């Protein structure tokens, strides 16, 4: 019999009406003859409210107690969802992470799932129950409640789909699916019917925040295709799967704009072996993620080393860079927060030449200056001045005709 995992995010459960409408979706699938496991997040912004409550009492609450607290929101949702299904005349049972057999390591607030013992889940499914599982939580070897990191319910859903060998995994959310670009910035952006795991991962890391990246990585590792679909309509959403076997791949699947990075430059660093190693090991030791790096050779054996970091890490990055500038006898540190990064992503870039050039040309035609460039197998990113960001995104979207690039959408939308 078909087994389906459905996941409902916080915004899809925010009101009693929404809980009931999610319950109806689960029942619809059950009545079509499927075994249904439903994973739920906390309602609306409930997790944020729990965190605020704790901080009103203590500025740095104990991590174990924070996990116990944050897990409350999902426990509310499982019970409400089960009650909703009962009210519609069907059998349902709620399970916490622990009851569902989800074992994690003991890293508070960013625990990783180690194993899932599915025996209880299977027993409940055999009793023809719709099984509701609390997302975002598990227990460690000592039975302490742990949480998987913000947005972690997606990861729970994919992990359960893998452990149960589910035929389908549907992630219900408040967007239509994945788009060629953020439709609020690019009105012509098109809904994407099918996307590769790697493309979604790149788009997510580039500022298109669709879902928890860890969930996508897990789905890729275990080969779990899943759908990102709207909870407010009947649309099929976007199927996320492995497209690497496709004979004709799309060169560019989507474009993204990231506006939350900043550029740090250490000026006139002595140009000798080991300098980059010193700089970036110090930055890494401060737990700062560096995105792009550029080194310009300047006169007198001195180079300018520039790198980008997330703006939230900027104060620490500037502190470390300042110290390094002193130690290395460099000329000083410059900061530019007025930058934006525009990127294109597509697995077809592996085999199509000339993609980067087309992007540079599109920016040049708009008289947009490129400050930094980085590429990977399936991505090209350009850092530009912040005010040009949205115009650059639209120009690139247009240059690759993403609004009509309607390939590989064969009828595998079952």
- Mode of pairing for the β-strands spanning 92-95 and 290-297: unpaired
State yes or no: residue 8 binds ligand ASP (CB under 6 A). Answer: no
Pick from 41, 104, 155, 156: which binds Mg ion (CB under 5 A)? Answer: 41
Closest contact distance (angstroms) between CB of 328 and Mg ion is: 43
**DSSP character string of 294-342:** EEEE-STTEEEEEEEEEGGGHHHHHHHHHHHHHHTT-SEEEEE--EEEE
In angstroms, what is the minimal distance from the CB of 42 to Mg ion? 6
For 116, the 3-state DSSP assignment is strand
Contact region for ligand ASP (CB under 6 A) — 39-47, 241-249, 260-268, 326-334?
39-47
CA distance 284 to 262: 16
135 binds, among Mg ion, ligand ASP, none (CB under 5 to 8 A by kind): ligand ASP
Q: Which of 35, 153, 231, 241 binds ligand ASP (CB under 6 A)?
A: 153
4 by DSSP, 3-state: which?
Answer: strand
With H, G, I as helix, E, B as strand and everything else as coil, classify residue 239.
Answer: strand
With CB under 6 A as the contact rule, the residue among 35, 47, 238, 249 that binds ligand ASP is 47
If you write DSSP's letter for every residue of 14-44 in order, what string do you get? SSHHHHHHHHHHHHHHHHTT-EEEEEE--ST
Spell out, one character per residue from 116 to 135, where the chain touches ligand ASP: x when CB under 6 A holds, - when not. -------------------x
Among 24, 150, 190, 358, binds ligand ASP (CB under 6 A): 150
Q: How far is the CB of 396 from ligand ASP (least distance, A)?
A: 31
CB of 238 to ligand ASP, least distance (A): 18
Q: How far, in Å, are 177, 178, 408 from residue 193 at the CA level? A: 8, 8, 9
Whose Cβ is closer to ligand ASP: residue 172's or residue 197's?
172
* Residue 10 within binding range of Mg ion, rule CB under 5 A: yes
Query: In whole angstroms, what is the distance from residue 20 CA to residue 88 CA?
Result: 8
Instruction: Give the total residue count for the chain.
Output: 414
The distance of Cα 142 from the centroid of its chain, to the nearest Å, equals: 30
The β-bridge relationship of strands 290-297 and 302-310 is: antiparallel
Q: Are strands 379-385 and 370-376 parallel, antiparallel or unpaired?
A: antiparallel
- Which residues 49-78 are close enough to bind Mg ion by CB under 5 A? none
| Binding residue (CB under 6 A) for ligand ASP from 136, 172, 197, 307 | 136
Which residues within the stretch 303-362 sit at the binding site for ligand ASP (CB under 6 A)? none
CB closest to Mg ion, residue no: 10
Q: How far is the CB of 259 from Mg ion (least distance, A)?
A: 22
Binding site for ligand ASP (CB under 6 A): 9-10, 41-42, 47, 73, 135-136, 150-153
């Amino acid at each position: 019999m078909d087994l389906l995992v459905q996941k409902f995010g916080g915004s899809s459960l925010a009101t009693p009406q929404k809980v009931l409408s999610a319950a109806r979706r689960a029942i619809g699938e059950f009545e079509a003859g499927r075994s249904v496991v439903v994973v739920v997040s906390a309602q609306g912004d409930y997790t944020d409210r729990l965190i605020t409550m704790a901080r009103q009492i203590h500025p740095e609450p104990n991590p174990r107690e924070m996990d116990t607290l944050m897990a409350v929101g999902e426990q509310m949702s499982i019970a409400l969802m089960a009650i909703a299904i009962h009210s519609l005349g069907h059998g349902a049972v709620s399970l916490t992470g622990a009851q569902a057999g989800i074992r994690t390591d003991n890293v508070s607030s960013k625990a990783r799932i180690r194993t899932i013992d599915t025996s209880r889940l299977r027993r409940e499914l055999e009793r023809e129950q719709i099984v509701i599982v609390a997302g975002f939580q598990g227990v460690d070897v000592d039975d302490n409640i742990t949480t998987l990191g913000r947005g972690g319910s997606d990861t729970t859903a994919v992990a359960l789909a893998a452990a149960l060998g589910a035929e389908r995994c549907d992630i219900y959310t408040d967007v239509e699916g994945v788009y060629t670009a953020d439709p609020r910035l690019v009105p012509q952006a098109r809904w994407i019917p099918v996307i590769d795991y790697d493309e979604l991962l790149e788009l997510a890391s580039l500022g298109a925040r669709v879902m928890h990246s860890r969930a996508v990585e897990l789905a890729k590792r275990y080969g779990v295709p899943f759908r990102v679909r709207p909870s407010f309509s009947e649309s099929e959403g976007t199927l996320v799967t492995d497209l690497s076997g496709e004979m004709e791949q799309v060169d560019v699947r989507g474009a993204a704009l990231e506006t939350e990075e900043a550029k740090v430059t250490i000026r006139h660093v002595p140009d000798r072996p080991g300098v980059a190693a010193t700089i970036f090991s110090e930055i890494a030791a401060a737990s700062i993620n560096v995105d792009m790096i550029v080194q310009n050779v300047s006169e007198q054996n001195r180079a300018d080393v520039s790198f980008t970091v997330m703006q939230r890490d900027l104060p620490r990055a500037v502190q470390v860079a300042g110290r390094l500038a002193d130690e290395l006898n460099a000329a000083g540190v410059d900061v530019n927060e007025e930058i934006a990064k525009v990127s294109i992503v597509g697995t077809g870039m592996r085999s199509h030449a000339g993609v980067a050039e087309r992007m540079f040309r599109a920016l040049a035609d708009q008289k947009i200056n490129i400050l930094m460039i980085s590429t990977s197998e399936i991505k090209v990113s350009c850092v530009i001045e912040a005010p040009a960001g949205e115009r650059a995104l639209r120009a690139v979207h247009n240059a690759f005709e993403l609004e009509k690039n309607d390939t590989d959408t064969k009828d595998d939308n079952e």
